[in-house]
Structure 1
Amino acid sequence: MRPIDLAREHGLSAQAIRNYDDAGVLPPTERSEAGYRRYTPLHAQALRAFLALRGGHGHQQAMDIMRATNRGDTESVYRLIDAAHVALLAERDTRTEVEAALGGLSVTTPAPAHGSPLTVGELARRLGVHPATLRTWETHGILRPDRDRATGYRHYGPDCVRDAEIARQLRRGGYLLPQVAQFIASLREAGGAAALSAFLDSWQDRLTARSRNLLTGAAQLDTYLAMLDQTRHSRSRSGH
């Protein structure tokens, strides 16, 4: 097969196939006397495996997996795949924690305060906590107060006050500081508690899609590994 023959199946260019070949994504390629690359069904399956792996692992890690596969380093292959599943599980757990934190809030999410920013003492009195607690929350990224350029004093604006109110509720619910920080970060990214619900749904959809992509990639890689084993066995029997 020619590069264009592999390319057509996936809507790629012949140059893309040559680039993947040079990058080590495909197994070693024989050349004709004229110097043209000759591809086989083994190369076609390697390309399918790489493109499928890319959906779940990303471009660079999919390349790393294929390179390790082609040099016979299956230990590295399995470690890379296992690491991806561990990372996905950790992200899934994080999402679950954020969702639980959202459910742990009071029905009415604290609205941002109006008026002038609060000082650390004023906010501490409002929440019924020690000022040192607010500084600890700041260290963990839960609060992001502004600073007065002249004095360096902290000023807690409306959004910061809202985050502090939520943090107090979560801490009373038994959540650890890293969990509170994760929730507040997700809340900021989503743009508010209402938007966070939609954000969590979208996040779940992304996790589900990635899990499915990892399965698809694993299936294609398994087929490729079986073909490699068969090819090596055939060469061993023929004495090559």
Structure 2
Amino acid sequence: MTPRSLRPVDLAREHGLSTQAVRNYEDEGILPPAGRSPSGYRRYTVAHAQALRAFLALRPGFGHRTAADILRAAHRGDTGTLFRLVDLAHADLLRERDTLDEVTAALGTLTAAPVPYDEGPGAQPTVGTLAHQLGLHPASLRKWEAAGILHPRRDPATGHRRYPPEAVREAYVARQLRRGGYPLARIKDFTDRLHDAGTTTALADVLAEWQSRLTRRSRAMLAAGRHLHGYLELVPLDPDQYQS
């Protein structure tokens, strides 16, 4: 075995993986095709080892699918697609940061005082009116109600939904959190906590959790760049060179 020839177990040990996981990554195209020994065993190179490092480093910040697509583009020398995928991921992260800023400002206002609405002081909007103000379809408000997030009252004369100030606030909160990617169950947990004495603490916890998640993703993306750059330095012009 030459110094540049590596076995699946050599790649696996570095990351605490099984050899089958390494073979699966090759089968999925995350690693480039390996050469074979005369007896049929897979032979990897330092380029395969670096490709695996790059993929595992990319995955926390970019997600499994995007990380895999980045490596596949690198294997075939498609730098246009590769850098587009990287740029799109960074743009998505920036959008989420902007949304967090908006949510932080909006929720700070919403939890401090009731939300004003167009029908005048003391009015309780209908589902259609509130949905229009939120830029949503009325079906979304009904879905949130079914999830236990909103608690409208029923007009005793018409049976129509009416939203008191607390329900209006919950609707605005839910919209902002949905824009931040939170699932309905998590939003329900938050709005439930808004009813408790610890409203300020609940808000701070949610925003801190969101900020922490973005920070972890940013740092993971930053760290992954070094490993991806290292792999691109090793990518051969001729893919058949992987198997030499």
Q: TM-score range by the shorter chain?
A: 0.7 to 0.9
Q: Superposed, which structure 2 residues align to 1:67-146 within 5 Å?
A: 67-105=72-110, 109-110=112-113, 125-127=121-123, 133-137=129-133, 140=136
Aligned partner of 1:174 in structure 2 is none
CA distance in 2, matches of 1:129, 1:7: 60
Length, aligned pairs only: 210
Instruction: Report sequence identity in percent.
Output: 49
Aligned pair in 2 of structure 1 residues 156, 104: CA closer, same or farther (>3 Å)? closer
Q: Superposed, which structure 2 residues align to 1:208-219 within 5 Å?
A: 208-219=215-226
Check conservation: 1:50, 1:66, Cα contact below 8 A. Answer: yes
Q: Deviations over 1:102-149 (max 9, x none)?
A: 3435xx7358xxxxxxxxxxx86514989974352365269556586x
Aligned pair in 2 of structure 1 residues 19, 126: CA closer, same or farther (>3 Å)? same
CA distance in 2, matches of 1:218, 1:13: 25
Output the TM-score relative to the length of structure 2.
0.71
Aligned partner of 1:226 in structure 2 is 233
Check conservation: 2:55, 2:71, Cα contact below 8 A. Answer: yes
The one of 203, 212, 221 equivalent to 1:205 is 212
User: 1:23 is matched by which residue type in structure 2?
Assistant: E
Of Structure 1 and Structure 2, the greater helix share is in 1
Aligned partner of 2:203 in structure 1 is 196
Secondary structure, aligned partner of 1:204: helix
User: 2:19 is matched by which residue type in structure 1?
Assistant: A
Matched, 1:26 2:22: no
Structure 2: runs of 5 or more not aligned: 1-5, 142-149
The one of 173, 181, 192 equivalent to 2:175 is 181
The one of 163, 167, 170 equivalent to 1:160 is 167
CA distance in 2, matches of 1:61, 1:153: 46
CA distance in 2, matches of 1:95, 1:212: 17
Structure 1: runs of 5 or more not aligned: 112-122, 168-178
CA RMSD of aligned residues (A): 3.8
Secondary structure, aligned partner of 1:4: helix
